[in-house]
Chains A and B, each alone.
Chain A
Amino acid sequence: MASVKRKSIESHQEDHPLLHPQKQLREDHSSNNSSSSKIIGNGEAVACLHDVSYPENYVRPPPPPVTQIEKNSKPAKEFPFTLDPFQSEAISCLDNGQSVMVSAHTSAGKTVVALYAIAMSLKNQQRVVYTSPIKALSNQKFREFKEEFSDVGLMTGDVTIDPNASCLVMTTEIWRSMQYKGSETTREVAWIIFDEVHYMRDRERGVVWEESILMAPKNARFVFLSATVPNAKEFADWVAKVHQQPCHIVYTDYRPTPLQHYIFPSGGEGLYMVVDEKAKFREDSFQKAVNALVPKAEGEKKRENGKWKKGLNVSKLGEESDIFKMVKMIIRRQYDPVILFSFSKRECEFLAMQMAKMDLNQDDEKANTETIFWSAMDMLSDDDKKLPQVSNMLPLLKRGIGVHHSGFASYPEGKTFSIGLNMPAKTVVFTNVRKFDGDKFRWLSSGEYIQMSGRAGRRGIDDRGVCILMVDEKIEPSTAKMMLKGSADSLNSAFHLSYNMLLNQMRCEDGDLENLLRNSFFQFQADRALPDLEKQAKVLEEERNSMVIEEEENLKNYYDLIQQYKSLKKDVRDIVFSPKHCLPYLQAGRLVCIQCTESDDKYPSFLIEDLVTWGVIVNFDRVKGVSDDDSSRPENANYTVDVLTRCVVTKDGVAKKKIKVVPLKEPGEPLIVSIPIDQINILSSARLYMSKDLLPLERDMNIQSSSYKKTVRRIEALEHLFEKHEIAKSPLIKEKLKVLHSKQELTARIKLVRKSMRSSTALAFKDELKARKRVLRRLGYITSDDVVELKGKVACEISSADELTLTELMKNSKMLQNQGKNLTFFFTQLQDTARRVAKLQFECKVQIDVENFVSSFRPDIMEAVYAWAKGSKFYEIMEITKVFEGSLIRAIRRLEEVLQQLIEAAKSIGEIELEAKFEEAVSKIKRDIVFAASLYL
């Protein structure tokens, strides 16, 4: 009897470590409520980090009875391959029924975790929701899952397939609105998988993730799949806090196929490996690569007579473009298949055309491609087949080249690649390392680079991935290093308020906006930063108080005077040296007084005298902006002046020469340097062959400006004051001023820190919330008691466009009367409405730029879309506008989405006629190529 009993206990105890190898470990840490972490794995390469966040006051549930463990003992899904440590680690968390965040590289195999979660839910008759940021990705995953488990449905803005399935694939936006509407899925979903959750930092859409996570049902569990983010722990802490459940983090840097990074200097001959597969940065070959680049770039410049040209055109000059050369090399070395990233749509197509000369496919492959191509084409109408974009594709495809960018019809967006769309290749090439970012070109961030380069290397096929950077400009070693070796971007909240969110929250009884704000990741991060800021402020204050200066009052007075004097001087200079005034005097030979190149802290700005020197003008030149806009007037352009003066040349490392302008008295050599105009202090009236009189020229320049005269008079007055100031005679004045200066700087920094502290202690967005509610009240969307009114209900339905403008438009419009006969009239009305809405928002202290807001409604493709609705063929409307066909298609698809929402809105106010009208509009635009299922479906 006794022995039997003992045996059962034993077997129980044995069961534990066997089935849940890490359970034991977690139990050890049960006493401390915060977290436990460990590193799993034997080799360095495959190691992963496992960590758990517990909510505060979390009471561990008693371990489930033995029967339960036995029931779970068979895994919900078995994989034909051995799991990587991070995968099995994550899966064991799922088996324990706890949320997990998996942070790993794109190709590492996060999908395995998602698959397991789905299999598990299906087994337990629970629903599972899989959300991804992009439709294309959703479509792809839908097909993947459908093959694996049959009970799968898809919901995106475009299509809905089997919405009653147990596993639903959807975009995050859809999931959010399902939660607002209280869809029954929310009550049946046990696991929610957020793929690419790092999208949360997206400025525009990130907030959707936060809302979705916050509103998720209390008993649901999460699987977050994300790219490598350094602050995964922070995110998990937040989830644990908000949902009062433990959240595991499984983090790994591991890549199944190691990456090699190469640089291909433009115009150069070969590749230079800069980071090897062991992730070591090779300084020497990096330098070689840079050196291979520099002379070429300069030579190019000379030949073009200093005119700057876009890298692409430059490469066109050569008989074979760089890209062509490189692809050839890649093929020769058998590094194919290859993906080329370029950051502009036009360049993308242009590159593909360059490739056209190449033939990468065998004959049998060609025939294959052709069949696939024509079967895809059969979906389109005959007229659509005439599109040049479509017909041009076949020869390219036959040669084994595909083009993808956001402007391309029926293809996913270019940035799709930065996320997990499945399109592996052995080699990844960046044709440029800078990216146009709305308003300017910037270097690729290390996070983006990591994501995109992660495409390289196919698991199980290649032994390593190759990543090639084409560099056509001087790239600082530090910048390159940052990009190649930097850490991934951290996951920061991009939370912001929208009217739609406000109204939806106010409409439901449980909705508590303040609560939503308080629980947002944004607030969480702000709260977290607070102690740090406090410490910072304290340290700075201590430092400031430790500085003791005698006669501080007096000195400060003097200091202020100098500051004032400086700023006045600067005002004068700005007036005099505005190109309008000074251009006529920049003749060759004129003597100028220029400021020495400041080497930062050596000459702080508290001296009365500037460090100046004199030089002779040789030439001046207009600086070309990035946008070669010929229409800009000469007055507005920037100029540089070539000046002959005394310089010190220091060679800095291998690559860069540093030229420093030094005062005349110091040793140096005469050189011609280019300086910006604002470095010139005084123009002398003398030109070199004239008299040696160095009187300032200003009076002769005939500047007619009252502010100029006033400023000059004030400077004179100040100069008198300086003479009177006794402290100026103190021998140690310079040192004292220096100390005071740094003290002032400290004070300013303390102020800054305090300010950010204040803003984080207060509930973030509280003021904005108030302001936005005010707007809604003024427009009659809600009553003074925050009850949503009729108009508010209309706006509730609209989430794909500006809800306020559209609602106002619908309420006030003459849409019905006008019947869209006059587009211009309609557009003015749209703009008027937008302006009214924006102005009201401005009055209610919502931060908004009225004109920007109004001009964000653009008429560019109105004509084309109108023609489309009238029944024109697609190739006809493509002739009307210049935008890419893909952009147009996306616009029309989006329009359909908005129209669907408007139908709902019309229903809610009981206007049947309008509803019918919208429905008619939908049926008119929903046809042919625009709504042809994309290739990914």
Chain B
Amino acid sequence: MRGIEISLNQTQKIRLQRALQQLESLYSKANFNASVTVADTIPVSNEDTILKGHGTSERDGEVVATLCGVVERVNKLVYVRTLRARYKPEIGDIIVGRVVEVAQKRWKLEINFSQDAVLMLSSMNLPDGIQRRRTAVDELNMRIIFEENDVVCGEVRSFQNDGGIQLQARSQKYGKLEKGQLLTIPPYLVKRQKHHFHHLEQFGVDLILGCNGFIWVGEHVEVRESLAEDQLNNTEQQFTKSNTTKEMPLETRQNICRIANAIRVMSILGFNVTLEVILETIDLSSTLNLGIDEMLGPEFHVLVAEREAERRTSMTKRKG
């Protein structure tokens, strides 16, 4: 219940508490003792050499934690997994960020990490899809691709020497995100998965679960594998097209809001955000005939928590 700030009446409070307790009881307490805070000693047997991973350091012959979190051991490797922290990038992560600066040959993006991420001009596909070296002209025209405050989606490509990260856009589906909502949720609620791009056909909506806790819900855009030839001539149109496209239908707008609210609810409750759970939450709201605004009301939160508890219980039963 900690940290959940919704105004609940007495019954709702009790119901929510029960649901959360039920959820808690499902988790094994095995790792309970393994949680550490900064400067706690991590017990290791001395005969075995160990590999000290992230969040650990050696001090006076003892391994100590440099982070708050849970000690994890993979064979000989010991590291501390943080529970609630800023986003920690890994190579290959899909993330969503907001452009804060257009610099020389690069954009700087806010990605909820300790440093801004760098997206090089050369790591972006040119709007005309031509494969060529970037010229000074391209550099001058960088704002045609992204300008400040644009929301951009990319993949973590590599770490720089200073610990900052470089992004890249592998294909056409990466890049500027338009006509939608950006949600910011705690990054630990987004688990790394096979796919982070989702096209929800029934809603006509694209959903991108950025590993950094930035989530994009927006109108579906058909990814065009543009061929250089078709675009040779209409480069100019391409640049301006983005501003002049037609209005988004009301229904899609509503869908976007509904999905966004579903994610908000889950984030407030502290549930992992996965496509599956999002869809179930949306289903629940539509079966209850709730309006989009009503989804953020206390009653819906309680309902979602109860249903989640139920779902997890039945899952564990099935497994057991």
Q: How far is the CB of B94 from chain A (nearest CB, A)?
A: 5
Cβ contact within 8 Å between A188 and B133: yes
Expressed in whole angstroms, the Cα–Cα distance for A550 and B86 within the complex equals 85
Q: A811-B74, A811-B75 are in contact. Are A507 and B131 (CB under 8 A)?
A: no
Cβ contact within 8 Å between B90 and A184: no
Assess whether B2 is interfacial by the CB under 8 Å rule. no
Contact with A along B66-91 (1 / 0, CB 8 A): 00000000111101000000000011
Cβ contact within 8 Å between B120 and A127: no
Residue among B129, B131, B134 with the most chain A CB within 10 A? B131
Assess whether B124 is interfacial by the CB under 8 Å rule. yes
Which residues of chain B are within 8 angstroms of A97 by Cβ–Cβ distance? Answer: 229
Cβ contact within 8 Å between A220 and B131: yes
CB-based nearest B residue for A126: B132
Assess whether B130 is interfacial by the CB under 8 Å rule. yes
Cβ contact within 8 Å between A812 and B54: no
Which residues of chain A are within 8 angstroms of B181 by Cβ–Cβ distance? Answer: none
Q: A188-B131, A219-B130 are in contact. Are A788 and B92 (CB under 8 A)?
A: yes
Cβ contact within 8 Å between A787 and B193: yes
Assess whether B242 is interfacial by the CB under 8 Å rule. no
Which residues of chain A are within 8 angstroms of B52 by Cβ–Cβ distance? Answer: 911-913
Expressed in whole angstroms, the Cα–Cα distance for A912 and B94 within the complex equals 26
Assess whether A634 is interfacial by the CB under 8 Å rule. no
Which residues of chain B are within 8 angstroms of A811 by Cβ–Cβ distance? Answer: 51, 74-77
Cβ contact within 8 Å between B131 and A509: no
Q: How far is the CB of B45 from chain A (nearest CB, A)?
A: 13
Assess whether B195 is interfacial by the CB under 8 Å rule. yes
Which residues of chain A are within 8 angstroms of B168 by Cβ–Cβ distance? Answer: 182, 184
Cβ contact within 8 Å between B135 and A125: yes
Q: A909-B77, A911-B53 are in contact. Are A127 and B155 (CB under 8 A)?
A: no
Assess whether A914 is interfacial by the CB under 8 Å rule. yes
Q: A182-B155, A187-B123 are in contact. Are A217 and B91 (CB under 8 A)?
A: no
Cβ contact within 8 Å between B120 and A814: no
Q: How far is the CB of A433 from chain B (nearest CB, A)?
A: 47
Assess whether A189 is interfacial by the CB under 8 Å rule. yes
Cβ contact within 8 Å between A510 and B171: yes
Q: How far is the CB of B68 from chain A (nearest CB, A)?
A: 17
Assess whether A910 is interfacial by the CB under 8 Å rule. yes
Which residues of chain A are within 8 angstroms of B307 by Cβ–Cβ distance? Answer: none
Cβ contact within 8 Å between B157 and A182: yes
Expressed in whole angstroms, the Cα–Cα distance for A220 and B227 within the complex equals 10
Cβ contact within 8 Å between A785 and B75: no
Assess whether B194 is interfacial by the CB under 8 Å rule. yes
Chain A interface residue bracket vs B? 35 or more
CB-based nearest A residue for B132: A126
Assess whether A248 is interfacial by the CB under 8 Å rule. no
Assess whether B125 is interfacial by the CB under 8 Å rule. yes
Contact with B along A795-834 (1 / 0, CB 8 A): 0000000000000001111111100000000000000000
Assess whether B228 is interfacial by the CB under 8 Å rule. yes
Assess whether B122 is interfacial by the CB under 8 Å rule. yes
Which residues of chain B are within 8 angstroms of A695 by Cβ–Cβ distance? Answer: none
Cβ contact within 8 Å between B74 and A780: yes
Expressed in whole angstroms, the Cα–Cα distance for A788 and B92 within the complex equals 10
Contact with A along B180-218 (1 / 0, CB 8 A): 000000000000111111000000000000000000000
Cβ contact within 8 Å between B53 and A910: yes
Q: A509-B195, A787-B192, A816-B49 are in contact. Are A793 and B91 (CB under 8 A)?
A: yes
Assess whether B158 is interfacial by the CB under 8 Å rule. yes
Expressed in whole angstroms, the Cα–Cα distance for A510 and B195 within the complex equals 8
Expressed in whole angstroms, the Cα–Cα distance for A780 and B123 within the complex equals 32
Assess whether B225 is interfacial by the CB under 8 Å rule. yes
Which residues of chain B are within 8 angstroms of A508 by Cβ–Cβ distance? Answer: 92, 155, 170
User: A126, A786, A913: which contacts B133 (Cβ < 8 A)?
Assistant: A126
Which residues of chain B are within 8 angstroms of A127 by Cβ–Cβ distance? Answer: 131-133
SS class, residues of chain B in contact with chain A: loop
Residue among A219, A912, A913 with the most chain B CB within 10 A? A219
Q: How far is the CB of B155 from chain A (nearest CB, A)?
A: 7
Q: How far is the CB of B162 from chain A (nearest CB, A)?
A: 14
Expressed in whole angstroms, the Cα–Cα distance for A591 and B130 within the complex equals 85
Assess whether A592 is interfacial by the CB under 8 Å rule. no
CB-based nearest A residue for B122: A184
User: A190, A218, A786, A790: which contacts B132 (Cβ < 8 A)?
Assistant: A190
Cβ contact within 8 Å between A187 and B122: yes
Cβ contact within 8 Å between B230 and A61: yes
Contact with B along A304-345 (1 / 0, CB 8 A): 000000000000000000000000000000000000000000
Assess whether A747 is interfacial by the CB under 8 Å rule. no
Which residues of chain A are within 8 angstroms of B195 by Cβ–Cβ distance? Answer: 509
Cβ contact within 8 Å between B227 and A219: yes
CB-based nearest B residue for A68: B232
Q: Which of B83-121 contact A (CB under 8 A)?
A: 90-92, 94, 120
Assess whether A766 is interfacial by the CB under 8 Å rule. no
Cβ contact within 8 Å between B134 and A910: no
Expressed in whole angstroms, the Cα–Cα distance for A909 and B131 within the complex equals 35
Cβ contact within 8 Å between A509 and B129: no
Q: Which of A58-108 contact B (CB under 8 A)?
A: 61, 64, 97
Which residues of chain A are within 8 angstroms of B55 by Cβ–Cβ distance? Answer: 910
Which residues of chain B are within 8 angstroms of A190 by Cβ–Cβ distance? Answer: 130-132
CB-based nearest B residue for A815: B49
Expressed in whole angstroms, the Cα–Cα distance for A919 and B79 within the complex equals 22
Cβ contact within 8 Å between A790 and B49: no
Cβ contact within 8 Å between B131 and A187: yes
Expressed in whole angstroms, the Cα–Cα distance for A787 and B230 within the complex equals 37
Expressed in whole angstroms, the Cα–Cα distance for A790 and B159 within the complex equals 16
Assess whether A410 is interfacial by the CB under 8 Å rule. no
CB-based nearest A residue for B171: A510
Which residues of chain B are within 8 angstroms of A813 by Cβ–Cβ distance? Answer: 76
CB-based nearest A residue for B50: A816
Expressed in whole angstroms, the Cα–Cα distance for A509 and B94 within the complex equals 8
Expressed in whole angstroms, the Cα–Cα distance for A570 and B129 within the complex equals 70
Cβ contact within 8 Å between A507 and B76: no
Q: Which of A887-919 contact B (CB under 8 A)?
A: 907-914
Cβ contact within 8 Å between B74 and A219: no
Expressed in whole angstroms, the Cα–Cα distance for A813 and B126 within the complex equals 47
Which residues of chain B are within 8 angstroms of A793 by Cβ–Cβ distance? Answer: 90-91
Expressed in whole angstroms, the Cα–Cα distance for A793 and B94 within the complex equals 16
Assess whether A520 is interfacial by the CB under 8 Å rule. no
Assess whether A226 is interfacial by the CB under 8 Å rule. no
Assess whether A751 is interfacial by the CB under 8 Å rule. no
Q: A811-B74, A913-B52 are in contact. Are A510 and B170 (CB under 8 A)?
A: yes
Q: How far is the CB of B80 from chain A (nearest CB, A)?
A: 10
Q: How far is the CB of A237 from chain B (nearest CB, A)?
A: 19
Which residues of chain A are within 8 angstroms of B159 by Cβ–Cβ distance? Answer: 907
Expressed in whole angstroms, the Cα–Cα distance for A190 and B132 within the complex equals 6
Q: Which of B133-164 contact A (CB under 8 A)?
A: 133-135, 155, 157-159
Q: How far is the CB of B131 from chain A (nearest CB, A)?
A: 4
Which residues of chain B are within 8 angstroms of A816 by Cβ–Cβ distance? Answer: 49, 51
Assess whether A791 is interfacial by the CB under 8 Å rule. yes
Q: A187-B124, A188-B132 are in contact. Are A791 and B225 (CB under 8 A)?
A: no
Cβ contact within 8 Å between B49 and A184: no
Which residues of chain B are within 8 angstroms of A506 by Cβ–Cβ distance? Answer: 194
Expressed in whole angstroms, the Cα–Cα distance for A180 and B57 within the complex equals 32
User: B90, B132, B193: which contacts A785 (Cβ < 8 A)?
Assistant: B193
What are the 8 closest A-B residue pairs judged by CB atoms, nearest first? A910-B54, A184-B122, A811-B75, A126-B132, A190-B131, A817-B49, A507-B92, A61-B229
Sample of 10 more A-B contacts, CB < 8 Å, known A125-B132, A793-B90, A811-B51: A125-B135, A126-B131, A182-B155, A220-B131, A506-B194, A780-B74, A811-B77, A907-B159, A910-B79, A912-B52
Which B residues have a C-beta under 8 Å from some C-beta of A?
48-49, 51-55, 74-77, 79, 90-92, 94, 120, 122-126, 129-135, 155, 157-159, 168, 170-171, 192-197, 225, 227-230, 232
**Pairs across A and B, CB under 8 Å, 8 listed:** A126-B131, A181-B157, A218-B225, A509-B92, A509-B94, A510-B170, A815-B49, A911-B77
Which A residues have a C-beta under 8 Å from some C-beta of B?
61, 64, 97, 124-127, 166, 181-182, 184, 187-190, 217-220, 506-510, 780, 785-788, 790-791, 793, 810-817, 907-914
